[in-house]
Amino acid sequence: MKIFDTSVLRLPLYEERHRRLAARIESWADEISSELGEIERLPPAEMGRRLTALFGEAGWYAAVGGVDTPPDFRSICLIREGFAFIHDLFDFAFSIQALAAASLIQYGSVEQRGALLPDILAGRSIGCLAMSEPQVGSDLANVSLRAERRGESYVLNGTKTWISNADIADFAIVLARTAEGGGPLGLSLFYVSAQTPGAHVSETIEAMAPRSFGSLTLDECTVPAEQMIGKPGHGFKIAGEVLELYRTTVGAAATGFARRARSAALSWARSRRLSTGTVWDMQLTKSKLADSEVALTGSALLVAQAAWEIDQQIRGYGKHSSIAKLFATEQAQRIVDDAVQIFGAAGIVKDAVPERLYRQIRSLRIYEGTSEIQRLIIAAYL
């Protein structure tokens, strides 16, 4: 299966191991295609379980880091782009597990990493990131879920919502307020097992694109103090850093979705007969697809630049991470919309590739900070 733009992969921003990884993703996509029909028939939550286990067995989570290894963001971006091209829930299952592991990899203690990461990276333990609340979206500094210190434990009370993997997760990474007053300095991060008394899924939410999604309520939920990730009061900093790092990968996923839409539109345009030829012969069709190619090339280059800067630990990578995310997601929305237009009525039929992509792409302009938030971040660098 042809997925990646090899002209971008040849650039010095990538190494030979990344080119081998891209080839492996394309080869694996061909291998898994025979099972895709069976997997797609599963309910979204069950599909999430199946895919997380499948990715763990295949070793795809190695790119996100490990007990003693740092993440490789160029590899993560290639995996997300490739998986998004294959199927949206492939990218969803991979990315949510990676996000759930990220804070442990970056800030977890030696004991936490050793005890938790092997099962997470093997896909045996499914995670979720519990940040947002009914009254708090992108503005995490206003998180209100309380974590009260009682002896050697913390007692958590409150509700988190819009949580990906909420109803299938074995654990949650929870941002909670451990100090009095508002603002970011009073927030800490916790690892909370789904089996902890007082922790329960209070709502399942049906999203525009079907997936595991819901709310988590913590009611007198007691967790040992050693399940705090990082230092007390550092939760906002850790959460912000994780989201900033993974913004680039959202741009990669958007590029994968857009590349799939462009590929489908091009095939349709060349095969769809008209009285005067094919849809491809129309000048406006060629214009749309040419614009899509320009946007895809720009997205791939911006993602590669930002991921390279992260891997090289270049200070100020956040600016280019936000640029890559903003540009790629906004352009992907337009490319998918153009694909629907080229397909015409066939593009709005339920579960047709353009219709499915149209529902799937919209959320990427919200995840890891909305497009509006990205513009504010970029402006702050000016």
- What is the tens place of the pLDDT at every residue in 109-153? 999 999 999 999 999 999 999 998 888 766 777 888 999 999 999
| pLDDT at residue 214, rounded to an integer | 87
CATH 2.40.110.10 domain residues, the chain: 127-233
When comparing pLDDT for 211 and 15, which is higher?
15
End-to-end Cα separation, the chain, in angstroms: 41
d(CA 105, CA 124) in angstroms, rounded, equals: 17
- Where residue 278 falls (left for φ over 0; alpha for ψ -120 to 50; beta otherwise) is beta
Q: Does the pLDDT at position 174 exceed 90?
A: yes
| pLDDT at residue 277, rounded to an integer | 80
Q: Does the pLDDT at position 181 exceed 90?
A: no
Mean pLDDT over 66-77 rounds to 94
Indicate if 368 belongs to the active site: yes
On whether the CB atoms of residues 76 and 64 are closer than 8 A, the answer is yes
On whether the CB atoms of residues 320 and 306 are closer than 8 A, the answer is yes
Mean pLDDT over 306-332 rounds to 95
Q: Two tokens at 36? A: 């895709």
278: β partners: 273
Q: What angle do CA 56, 61, 63 make, to 5 degrees?
A: 155
d(CA 188, CA 66) in angstroms, rounded, equals: 22
On whether the CB atoms of residues 77 and 65 are closer than 8 A, the answer is no
pTM for the model stands at 0.92
Per the CATH hierarchy, to which homologous superfamily does domain 127-233 belong? Butyryl-CoA Dehydrogenase, subunit A, domain 2 (2.40.110.10)
CATH, range 6-121: 1.10.540.10
Mean pLDDT over 344-365 rounds to 89
Single out the residue of 342, 332, 353 nearest to residue 288, CA to CA. 342
From 244, 309, 355, 368, active-site residue: 368
| pLDDT at residue 137, rounded to an integer | 64
Of the segments 123-127, 162-166, 363-367, which one has the largest average pLDDT value?
A: 123-127
CATH, range 237-381: 1.20.140.10
Mean pLDDT of the chain: 91
| pLDDT at residue 180, rounded to an integer | 74
CATH 1.10.540.10 domain residues, the chain: 6-121
| pLDDT at residue 340, rounded to an integer | 94
